[in-house]
Amino acid sequence: MTQYKRTELVLDKAFDAQSCRHEIAGNPVVLHCHHYTALYTQLALDCSMLDAKALLAECSEDTWEDFLSAYYRTHGISSIPERIALAEQTYAAAGLGRMRVTCAGPESGEVTLDHSHVDAGWFKKWGQHSTPVNFIGAGFIAGLFAAVFGRPVRTYVATETQGIVCGASCSRFTVIVR
């Protein structure tokens, strides 16, 4: 069995004082507190004009698939275990929480969040919720799988089957090909 070394995430960070913009690895970045994230998640739940939950997930998927794919290309990362390790580290470095990809293959997988920025914000504002609310995490996970396996966005759907915000000790997502 081939042994893969765990690749450590290296992010080139920059701040342009003139425009007050942050960049990580050449990508513009805007950081939001978990209270703000909870507010626009609630807006997505309340929106009846369109499927705003899917919109949040798709925006997250597009952003993170692009970021991870570019990172893998730039750093010559081709092994699946290294790609997964870097994606887990990226999730944490972005302040989104602590993620473990527990089972991954090109057709399906499972992901566990031991901590979730989205859920933490929801708890602070409104307490426990009856259904999972981490649409941003679901999008990240779908984008992660697309980038890890070199497939286009919208190849995977990540479904939160258990949520911290619902009282569970961790959030769980199942991932399948659409």
Q: Is the pTM of this model over 0.85?
A: yes
Q: What mean pLDDT is predicted for residues 20-46?
A: 82
Q: pLDDT band for 58, please (50, 70, 90 cuts).
A: very high
Q: What is the pLDDT of residues 117-151, one digit of tens each?
A: 999 999 999 999 999 999 999 999 999 999 999 99
- For residue 56, give both structure tokens: 């949040």
| Sheet of 21-24, strand order | 13-16, 21-24, 27-29
The tens digit of pLDDT for each residue in 88-117 reads 999 998 889 999 998 889 999 999 999 999
CB within 8 Å of 16: residues ≥ 6 apart: 23
Percentage of residues in the chain having pLDDT higher than 70: 96
Name the band, by pLDDT with cuts 50, 70 and 90, for residue 3: very low
Please state the rounded mean pLDDT for residues 60-88: 94
pLDDT tens per residue across span 147-172: 999 999 999 999 999 999 999 999 99
The span from the CA of 24 to the CA of 6, in Å, is: 21
Average pLDDT, the chain: 91
**CATH superfamily name and code, 33-177:** Trafficking protein particle complex subunit 3 (3.30.1380.20)
Element counts in the chain: helices (H) and strands (E) = 5, 7
Residue 85 has a pLDDT of 95
SS3 category, 23: strand
